[in-house]
Amino acid sequence: MGAQTLLTMNTKTFSLLPLLFALTVSTLGPHSTSWATSPASAKNAAQKKAVAQKKAAPGKKASAAAAAALPALAADESVVPNAPALAAKAWLIMDFDSGEVLASANANEALPPASLTKMMTSYLVEQALRAGKLKPTDLVTVSENAWCRGTSAESCMYLPLNSQATVIDILRGIIIQSGNDASKAIAEHMAGSEAGFAKLMNAEAQRLGMTNTHFVNPTGLPDPAHKSSARDMAILARAIIRESSEYYPIYAERDFKYNGIKQGNRNALLYTDPTVDGLKTGHTAEAGFCLVTSSKRNDMRLITVILNTHSMQARADLTRTLLGWGFSTFEKSTPIELGRVVTAAAVSGGKESTVPAVLGAPWLVTVPRGQQVQTRFEAQADLQAPVAKGAVVGKVIATSNGKTVGEAPLVAQVEVARANILVRAWNQLKRLFGQ
């Protein structure tokens, strides 16, 4: 067989690898070493990796079996009593709209997050783009520290040493390919070093209320001090969806081609569930197999987190179980229709003594199926004229089974002008005499 024939066969074989990785059940999160810089050397690295995985298979199967034999972790927090038990070190399901945790187990324990870390890396890039601090076409230089050096165990975008890539390509490389090289390069571009970027990561985590998180690097490569929790990962996922709407569709992209190499997204649910549109996979030996997922069905979006389960298949299956339970157990309810007058809010010093209060926007809450929703109104204290149309005059609170399930601002339906001094004096007298 000639050299040209062998080259053709190798090229065809490698071109199938992204699809095979994605259609299994995905992710290699950050590992520990690197890939080469050219398409040819990347192909060689992929072949070496396949051989290494084959040799390691018996040990991996044994450890997976041991992990699978552990008892499933029951919910220690749940809105309803029938939450599933899942074989992971921690798990959670959250309602996106309200941020309410519908069920969870061990959600506050600080655990290694592996490549889930890159959700914060991509989020900071997205926020910098939104603020104009970065432009999509800005060029990022690949330092020797960021460069993947040609070994076969690390997730990479295949950025050549000393090359430059645009910020938007870097962002795709982080989200879709889980590129450690892309993550390091943008960290150095934005903050001068990985350590400097970690300070930005931790400041943002604190702002978001991620109380069990400490980042050391932008990749999730193992470090004893690098930790996060299931609850914190859900908070971060919610922030990405809510605040990075322009860039969030990237999290649903199934593949990305860079430097002549096309790689598939490692989130297998993107290929099997059309309602799933993100977010991130992760894996290291210490962190196990992790997955943060978002799924929207009709008017309801749910976020799930699986930390430290025993296989790619398990993290996908556990996520399917959790999403199936969430969508079958909960529903959206409209406590008050848009345009309906909720109450008449008292106004001091106005031509009118009250103003009709209505919702400023459509309002939905998530409740267990079939459960009734009650509402109550809280007026803004000492509301003084003039009151502009659309000004907030109070809030309405929704409860279900005695528990608060949401709240929404109420706004003035009409303008209330300030009265002249005689009318104000007359109204004051009426209040004094209880009329």
Could you give the residue numbers annotated as active site?
115, 118, 178
Residues with Cβ within 8 Å of residue 24, at least 6 apart in sequence: 268, 312, 313
Half-sphere exposure of 386 (CA within 13 A, CB side): 8
| Helix count and strand count (H, E) for the chain | 11, 17
Q: Which residues of 138-162 are buried (b: 16+ CB within 10 A; e: fewer)?
A: bebebbeebbbebbbbbbbbbbeee
- 3-state class (DSSP) for residue 391: coil
Q: Which two tokens stand for residue 50?
A: 């396949």
Positive or negative: CA dihedral 71, 305, 253, 40: negative
Place of tokens 């809510």: 242
> Is the Cβ–Cβ distance between 31 and 45 less than 8 Å?
no
SS3 content of the chain, % helix, strand, coil (to 5): 35, 25, 40
**DSSP result, 308-348:** EES-HHHHHHHHHHHHHHHHHHEEEE-SS-TT---EEEE-B
- Residues 101, 232: Cα–Cα separation, whole Å: 11
End-to-end CA distance of the chain: 103
Residues with Cβ within 8 Å of residue 7, at least 6 apart in sequence: none
